[in-house]
Structure 1
């Protein structure tokens, strides 16, 4: 499979309309093992613009999680570059990389798995503050940190008075709000949302998605939203990047990808999404069939 290479020139909006490039991936490749080598990410080039939500979608095992670990520099690429705000992360010292990581945070699928059950909510949310700011460890710093934790909890719709409670005392949706508060503690520019609602029921999902949208607008955040749930992606994404077998096969504006997908694999993913209204399903199928006919032999990557 030939991977699609996507830069600012391939999208329908201009760079000025999208904002400045914040994250740039150039020819990223990740191999595991040897003889034979397993290729988890295959020549991925992608730009994420300030203030947008880019959804990264595909089936389990397609390489989404490995790609996010590469862009966060939690693992090293076999080949290729990661640039954040124009800075190549490959040549940074550990101290320099630590400084950049203040601007990049992640919210995981299962909030409980990312929390120490022995830690109080105050300590969980404050951990990034204490890690990156030595002044937060002193007596005065601790008082200010507790005040800041209260502000963060209120920002995500929780009561500041819950700080001395433990994770097991809260619902899944509340724990996810705590995770979001923790991610926002050091005021990042980029937040990677790795299946942030898949462990929640539908009503809680909706509230978390509304919260994320509100925070993005208020704080000017940029999101990379990783998901296999295309119904959720349709609600939140400005652009969609589709992965298959470690490669990008289609990248475009969300409305274009959902209405007129160009790649056969994208069409199969969309066809697998249940639609409660058969009339809508028939209209969508007609649009896709027309787009496929116009594309002719264009099922391959663009």
Structure 2
């Protein structure tokens, strides 16, 4: 049996050479479109019916896309990575499309980036680098991280890895999660689980590490920013829509947020029309925190495992 497969995940597309032997072994005919971040709903609608399965990035697999796909050949949707917020899971279930993701695979990689962003906010190393390259000798007085309080929103595998790194840096830790936080983690790091209002009120630096859900869309809105300390920092390595960017801009203008590091945005890829590009106290990334060679090669194989397993189940069912 040969299966026709669409791959839309940029990190996997950049490392396809490592997958060729596996594709051949599993009889996968792979199609790889040119992608910057993700395909649009319209682009998916035009091609999705041609494929038996997809290894997906952050593309919008809406009910419309899935219905068109199911009227064609689509049986399986394997998400490369953790977040499934771009997939209409209810529609997929109704249509009989198998779905999967690769949970708990990027904890260290994303936590490293969260720590890196926090160090940049504290010491402004990126600004010093730019200035020295221009022939200057900039001396910026930084901020010590020891004894500062970090509030982590979403303390699962990624949030837990961030907590362990921040604990080593001597930071005090608060955590919020909709579920009880692992007791061993709390003992190891002295992290205290609190409600959101307490985390907002008492944190010097707020780090977003949670999944995007309908319930936490624009979790950080005008009201949330108003509860924070003056001169708070924000680090977002989760999903862009958790932050209301209009509210963030107000908080930056007022000084409520004095520094921010954003690896993700409400609309991606972000363009220069986004007003946030005008704020020199904001560090910007390209939704790239999970992208290391080691992690990509590992997750490539897990995603293929999931895809092939579900394709076989779908065939057996038919």
Same-fold status (TM-score > 0.5): no
The alignment's TM-score, normalised by the length of structure 1, stands at 0.29
TM-score, L = length of structure 2: 0.28
Q: Flag the structure with more relative contact order, 1 or 2, with Cα contacts below 8 A and sequence separation at least 6.
A: 1
